[in-house]
Amino acid sequence: MTHPLAGALALVAGSPLNPMPLSALPADLQPLVRELGRHGFSVKLAVPPVRGVYGLYQARQRTIWVAPISFELGIARPTFLHEAVHAVQSCPTGVVAPLGWQLPLAPVVRQQIGGILATAYHGNKAAEQEAFALQSQPDAVPRLLAALRQRCAGRAR
């Protein structure tokens, strides 16, 4: 006989609010997770400490957050890549600054990014635009790995 709360407990265990293991990220992102760790960054698949965001990079703590709900929404990959861009942008000074990448974007995507930045972001818009642009690039992982190794070399463990 099952306990009346068993179903509710199972639902809570799989809640989009519960932390997840890093292995929940796709296999092709795992080398980037490991390389970020080698360079002193931590990745947490947990609710970010800022309300209402799917991802967050905290430069001072060198921590990338990806909200578990982003997996259910199908945006975990671009969210992680976006925040990984900010981690790389923060090397070597600890201050997030654009890398200067000129990335190909369809005009409609460029327009959508511009709209998001105009309404929702009040920080470094150039760094945000670069992160939004890179998150959808087919070569995002190798590009980030190379930039991480080059820019963050002094922090490698």
pLDDT of residue 49: 93
pLDDT of residue 97: 93
In 48-93, at which residue ranges do the beta strands (DSSP E only) sit? 55-58, 63-66
- pLDDT tens for the chain, 157 residues long, are 444 443 333 344 566 679 999 999 999 999 999 999 999 999 999 999 999 899 999 999 999 999 999 999 999 999 999 999 999 999 999 999 999 988 777 677 666 766 666 666 666 778 888 888 898 889 999 999 999 999 998 766 6
- Sign of the dihedral defined by the CA atoms of residues 86, 90, 96, 99, in that order: negative
pLDDT of residue 19: 93
> For residue 10, how many other CB atoms are within 10 A of its CB?
10
Distance (Å, rounded) from C-alpha 76 to C-alpha 131?
Answer: 14
pTM > 0.75: yes
pLDDT of residue 1: 45
Structure tokens at 18: 């519960």
Burial class (CB in 10 A: 0-12, 13-18, 19+), 124: middle
